[in-house]
A and B are shown apart, each in its own frame.
Chain A
Amino acid sequence: MKMNLKNSLLVISVASFFAISCNVLSQEPKSAVSSDHVIYNERTSQIALNGLYSQLQNGNYYGGNLLVLGDVSSDISQSVGTWDFYRAMDTYTTNVGNLEVEDFWEQAYATINQANNIIAKVPPLDNVSQETKDQILGEAYFIRALAYFDLNRAFGGVEGVYGSMGVPLVLQPTNTITENSFPSRPSINKTYAQVESDLKQAIELLSGSSTPTRASEAAAKALLSRLFLYYQQDYGLVEKYATEVITAYDYQLLEDYASIFISEETAGSIFELSFTASDQSDIRFWYFPPSLGGRADIALHQSFVNLLQSRVNDERAKLIAFDDGVGVYYPTKYQKVSGKDNVIILRLAEMYLNRAEARTRKESPDLNGALSDLNIIRNRAGLADTTGAGVDTAREILDAIALERSIEFFEEGHRWFNLVRTERAMTVLNGIDRKNSGPVSLNEAGRQVWPIPQREIDANKNIEQNEAYN
């Protein structure tokens, strides 16, 4: 009996030990998939494309950060809270370690890499129809263009105004690090040229206007209209693309200005990002008071509030509220609880203002056309025409357009970029009032572009820093 017991125990112990040894080493991820097995048919291609939008809507990019950066560094918004990195942007003291600037840089490139994956991996698939491929690739090209455009205007600048180096161009997906992973900075216009090329690819591949939550041919044209304000200052092309967007599709300026934000996917929207309660944007969080679930870190400059409040009939001026905790006004375009407002990136009103600006600035100006476009925007906001109110010369019209842009697009992150590209930043951003300090000014021309994150400089010796931050 004893021998049997012993032997059976020994056999069981040894056998069970080796039986289980085989599979402990093959552990498969359960909440992720291998990059080799992610895009392999039509459905997975579509899902990777959804992921591309998801990259774009990340809180570090259009989910909040870029919109805050674009306004807080201008005369629209100010930092009133504790978050140093926005305060540094607000007070023109930012440095190479600015986390928010770095986050934006990184997320824009994450978006680009995702687009590169789609652009490289979808075409060889033989189980996806050409039509579907075109649609997927067209959207991917558009988003890549948008990311390069945003990067280049923030870190590169505008030729002829400030800046000479663009942001590095990476057009192939990265799956492992190789010697090709250390690009240097091309010229500013080389990067813009890539944006143009990608947008033209998108136009080739896409057609129509689709739903605004997806990239479309119209969106690509709208972005081209914006691009040429920065690139080559080719106002003929700005006007051409703006006109195409205005006329060739069914977009309309909504009667009710606020409804473009309150409703989703309206006729006034060319490209917007879809946010839901489980996939929220941060923009409201940064502006709203704590009692409403926000952080109250960013608010409007009082001078801008004064401007809005001086325009009694302006529908747009109504989209602000007072935070009596901090004693400041904050914008309420994006106000839905749990941050589920769709974020609008391109809308029809901008096409009118782009065209107005182009018509004023092109070689043979069309000032009447420009004023007509400008007044379309003013009238929609409940205001009278500007004609006869001292807006006659090209300079005055451009000033009026700039003013209209600031009011039309506050909280949407346009202002800083518009000021820089129109060479107004150094003069306008002078003695800007702040809640928590004396007035601040942008005194250094080099600060019209943001610092390349030090992390990037450290990781890639081929990258050159912008001169103001060396």
Chain B
Amino acid sequence: MLNYPITAFKTKTIVAFCFIFICIPVISQAQISISGVVTSGTNGATLPGANVTVKGTTNGTSTDANGYYKLKVENEQAVLVFSFLGFVTQEIMVGNRRTINVALNPDVAVLNDVVVVGYGIQEEGVLTSAITSVQGAEIQNTPVVSASGLLQGRAAGVQVSSSSGAPGSGLRIKIRGTSSISGSSDPLYIVDGVPIQTGNFGLDTGGATTSAMSFINPDDIVSITVLKDASATSIYGARAANGVVLIKTKRGADKPLQIQFGTYFGTQQAINTPDLVNGSQFEMLQNEAARNNGEPVPYPNPEQAINTDWANLIFRTGSIRNYDLSISGGNEEVQYAISGGHFNQKGITKPALFRRSAARVNLDLDATEKLSFGTSISYTHSHRNRARNNDNISGVLPGVYFYPPNLPVYQPDGTYTTFSIFENPVAGATEVDFDMNVNRFIGNVFTEYEFTPDLFGKASWSYDHMLVREKRYNNTSTVNGASVNGSALSTTAINRSWTAEVTLNYIKSIGDHNFNALIGGSMQARNFERTTAEGQQFPSDDFRYIEAAAVQTASSTGTSSGLASLFGRLQYNYDRRYLATLTVRRDASSRFGENNQWGTFPSIGLGWAISEESFFNADWISELKLRASYGITGNQGGIGDYQSLGLWIGSSYGNSPGTITDQLANPDLRWETTRQFDIGLDIGLFNERVTITYDYYSKYTTDLLLAVPVPSSTGFQTLVQNFGELSNKGMELAISAGIIQRQDLAWTATFNIAGNRNMIEKLAAPFNVYNRDPFRYKEGIPMFSFYFHKQLGVDPETGAPVFADINGDGVFDINTDRTIVGNANPDFFGGLTNTVNFNQFDLSVFLQYNYGSEQLNWNRFFQEHGGTRNTGYLSSQLDRWQEPGDVTMVPKMTRENYRAGLRPSRFVEDGSYIRLKNVTLGYSLPQELSGKLGINNARIYFTGQNLFTITNYSGLDPEVTATATNPLTKGIEFYTIPHAKTYMIGFDITF
């Protein structure tokens, strides 16, 4: 099996090739087995992919993702050669040692760490662009639910916010601010070369999203690279303006079989639960409002009120557990990495549940010296129990807030108490079956061919198939189900996309002139279909399939899009001192209007490695590089399929079909264009013991896709036009320092901070968005600006709220005196990670922070209603003005003080926070002990997440955004599940 005959391939199919991993390679016959871990001498990080060879032989291997290697040598005189790009090669004679751990020192003269870039890899030393990479220990030692979570607080300038604390919910990632208003500001995700379809594919539950990225098993990930400036991203053309996230998963290597098993499990609890009034307080407040309004008191005996703690009935202790098994290895011809994982999370509110089972097979086959094949194939099944929440009157958490505490859960006859239009939260949590199943297959097959030693070709085909099935049944004890004898909904959505790519890469050095040229082409097509069926009037709750429903409706819909691209890149450097990268991509998209079918996206990056100059002789500065880039990228994410066309859609009248106008034509429709300038400095001190990366950038986006309000007298409200302009300017600083570097004790601190200033430069017309229009969009203010009546206080004499007279006409007017009172963008944000390795112990402490953003506590708008509603109150209502002299921000409870049109700014709160996101303490068995047990490596660890948060925000969680489905909103808590405090224990064992 060792030399799998090539001729056999000719007759076998690709499918057979995919299953070649079942052939376990034969281990070469040698006498002494040596193993160990290769690490970096600067920061102790393990070095995956380092070469270990036996001097004078062809025997050799490379280290795995944990820096581990194992090989056999003939005798004790054998010399092992450890080499890795960018590090000084070390030779060590075996002698009587059987475990040889090596710390390689960086080769200061070369400094050629390799990073992943678009369509390839590149030496860090000659990079001209702004790239942040998260890899190694930062990923390996942190249990996270979602791949995107790995970036939170760890990559400068990358802002990760969660839509809610519900398991499997979406994360929103913004790289260098928001460069689109109505379009998508999600970055482009590429997993092992496959562009991944992201977005929200689930039913709307009031704004919460389900993460399309949750299909990736985080245990499979080796590195996540974030491309930020135009020099790095423009190779992705019309999809690159929001940045690009490249994810690499583990691959096999030429080394013996290695089996790795990991697990963790733990419990979760909400970091905060709603602070609501009790039954007596509720009745007392309602009475007070009635008295203040001169009306009869509704509750004569508030002391005797029923008290139902609705929150307590919904919040619970959640649990989390994860199993991960992987095998990897290979020989010279075939390398394999096969993994499977299972994740199970019971949410902190009923009935949320998230389960994921994932499998992956990554294969590499060197068919001949010049020809190789590879595959990356993953299949994931995930299951969610969902609940409506956020902006949804049938929601569970909304019910917790709206249901008055003086109502019992059940009526004497055992049925649920119902109140107004809201769902009884207990019924919403227990009587609604709402689940979502996602099956996703992503397969990539590629072949590489070496035409000459300088010229390489690669062709790759990928297929991304996602099947989303959702079912919901409201039984007859729910408000939604009762009136129609049960209602059911079933949807099936299929999203398919394929990508084909070819690239040619030419690498040549002539004297001190080093060239690396790439050209390529890419085709991508996507097809989406959704079928929905609904049923009402069920014979009983025993029937839950729509077949049994007396009233049935169904519909189906679909869209498609295509993208064709050509791209090229030339990297040149002279003597590794003067660096240049030229990139261009041309994209044609089916979404663009007929007058703008092709877009061109060029960029240039220049660098000067000052520390490489002969005149530079500051020994303590190991690297000093200045780089600058400028380029143009596009964003086609905001253009819907067929958006450029004038459309009519189907409709009906009576039982006859009809057509109605739907959309104005815009043949000029095109991508959003972002011009980005970046200037950066890379500094390495004391032999790279301290590294500093600083970037300043300025992005200006034109042709923003905006649903420009058009006069409704045309019959349409909006036309999507390339109209607006937006700017983002910011700075990023990342510092990593090996504070202590001893054999037995290593302490590394990494810190990053970034600030972004966003400004709307041009807009067709001001507009407000979201439920009760809290956001204002107009020129000259940042996105996500809150538009409120600025509340100055409460008149201590009368208890009436005092609002600023914005237009200065002497009176406060509800129509004309609204103003901008802040925005949801942080002034700066980032993270601080401290990692300490002490003998067999490892400790990492990760703090995440966000300063200067406002968070809208929209729950207060509805639960500080001052008696204008008969719904529940937040405890903050108790701070109301009661008698002359009271100084408070919460007005006297009268109808006038809480009238419907008021948007008091007291609900816009300081959203700054520092959160202890993760603390992990691990212990690895000493090699001597684990060797005796027949294992290579064993580690046990304890992790705590979200252990504390320092914030002035009065809501449950300053980190959530209830409205993740709406790109125009951010920083709203609105009946949103908060994050969980998590305690976990985990093991990792490698055989």
Contact = CB atoms under 8 A, between A and B. Distances in A.
Interface of A: 1-2, 4-6, 9-10, 13-14, 16-17, 20-21, 23-36, 38, 44, 47-55, 57, 81-82, 84, 87-88, 91, 93, 95-97, 105-106, 109-114, 116-117, 167-168, 170, 173-177, 181-183, 213, 274, 276-279, 290-297, 325-326, 337-338, 436-438, 453, 455-456, 458-460, 463, 469
Contact of B711 (A4, A6, A36, A459): A459
B206 to A, nearest CB: 15
A238 B594 CA distance: 53
B892 to A, nearest CB: 16
Given A174-B714, A338-B536, A459-B765, A326 B719 contact: no
Interface in B506-536: 521, 523-525, 536
Interface residues of B, number: 96
B203 interface: no
B711 to A, nearest CB: 4
Contacts of A453: 712
A456 B712 contact: yes
Please name the 5 residue pairs, one residue from A and one from B, whose CB atoms are nearest each other, closest first. Answer: A113-B715, A293-B483, A24-B562, A50-B658, A35-B646
B654 A276 contact: yes
B711 A456 contact: yes
Given A82-B869, A437-B293, 20 more contacts: A6-B368, A14-B502, A23-B562, A25-B564, A26-B562, A26-B590, A32-B645, A33-B649, A47-B656, A48-B648, A48-B659, A49-B658, A51-B661, A53-B654, A110-B715, A114-B661, A182-B711, A274-B653, A290-B420, A455-B765
Contacts of B293: 437-438
A296 B815 contact: no
Interface of B: 6-7, 9-10, 293-295, 367-368, 370-371, 393, 418-421, 447, 449, 457, 459, 479, 482-484, 500, 502, 521, 523-525, 536, 551, 553, 557-564, 588-590, 597, 641-642, 645-666, 708-717, 719, 764-768, 772-773, 814-815, 868-869, 871, 895, 899-901
Given A31-B649, A109-B712, A279-B652, A437 B525 contact: no
A58 B466 CA distance: 35
Given A17-B459, A109-B712, A325-B418, A30 B654 contact: no
A80 to B, nearest CB: 10
B484 A50 contact: no
B900 A88 contact: yes
Given A26-B590, A337-B484, A338-B536, A114 B901 contact: no
Contact of B661 (A47, A110, A293, A469): A110
B647 A95 contact: no
A23 B564 CA distance: 10
A175 B646 contact: yes
Contact of A6 (B449, B562, B656, B900): B449
A459 B712 CA distance: 8
A296 B500 contact: no
Given A29-B641, A458-B767, A277 B659 contact: no
B516 to A, nearest CB: 22
A1 B714 contact: no
Contacts of B657: 47, 50
Contacts of B479: 290-291
24 contacts: A1-B6, A14-B502, A17-B521, A20-B500, A27-B590, A34-B648, A36-B646, A51-B651, A88-B901, A91-B900, A110-B660, A112-B715, A117-B661, A175-B664, A175-B665, A176-B666, A177-B710, A183-B711, A277-B553, A278-B652, A290-B420, A453-B712, A459-B709, A459-B764
Given A84-B901, A113-B715, A437 B765 contact: no
A181 B710 contact: yes
B726 to A, nearest CB: 19
A30 B559 contact: yes
A177 B719 contact: yes
A54 B658 contact: yes
Given A113-B661, A177-B664, A293-B483, A338 B901 contact: no
A183 B558 CA distance: 37
Contact of B901 (A53, A93, A438): A93
Contacts of B560: 27-28, 30
Contact of B562 (A27, A460, A469): A27
A51 to B, nearest CB: 4
A33 B647 contact: yes
Contacts of B589: 25
A116 B479 CA distance: 43
Contacts of A117: 661
Contacts of B717: 106, 455
A47 B658 contact: yes
A263 B920 CA distance: 71
Contact of B653 (A32, A51, A93, A109): A51
B525 A24 contact: yes
A95 B814 CA distance: 9
Given A27-B590, A95-B815, A176-B665, A38 B421 contact: no
Most chain A C-beta atoms within 10 Å of own C-beta, residue among B294, B561, B715: B715
A53 B815 CA distance: 35
A376 B650 CA distance: 44
A33 B105 CA distance: 65
Most chain B C-beta atoms within 10 Å of own C-beta, residue among A14, A25, A181: A25
B901 A81 contact: no
Nearest to A453: B712
Contacts of A49: 658
B750 to A, nearest CB: 42
Contact of A170 (B9, B661, B709, B713): B713
A190 to B, nearest CB: 14
Contacts of A57: 653
Most chain A C-beta atoms within 10 Å of own C-beta, residue among B367, B561, B653, B871: B653
Contacts of B525: 20, 24, 27
B558 A31 contact: yes
Contact of B368 (A2, A26, A181, A458): A2
Given A113-B661, A438-B293, A456 B713 contact: yes
Nearest to A106: B712
Contacts of A47: 656-659
Given A114-B660, A276-B654, A455-B709, A30 B6 contact: no
A21 B525 CA distance: 10
A10 B561 CA distance: 28
Nearest to B563: A24
B557 A30 contact: yes
A34 B421 contact: no
Given A29-B559, A293-B484, A34 B645 contact: yes
B660 A51 contact: yes
Contacts of B773: 97
A218 B659 CA distance: 26
A326 B646 contact: no
A44 B716 CA distance: 22
B562 to A, nearest CB: 3
Contacts of B588: 25
B813 to A, nearest CB: 9
Contacts of A276: 652, 654-655
A24 B900 CA distance: 51
Contacts of B641: 27, 29
A6 to B, nearest CB: 6
Contact of B551 (A84, A177, A213, A277): A277
A34 B6 CA distance: 54
A290 B418 contact: yes
A236 B559 CA distance: 57
Most chain A C-beta atoms within 10 Å of own C-beta, residue among B659, B709, B869: B659
A88 B815 CA distance: 12
A17 B500 contact: yes
A119 B659 CA distance: 15
A38 B657 CA distance: 13
B870 to A, nearest CB: 8
B553 A10 contact: no
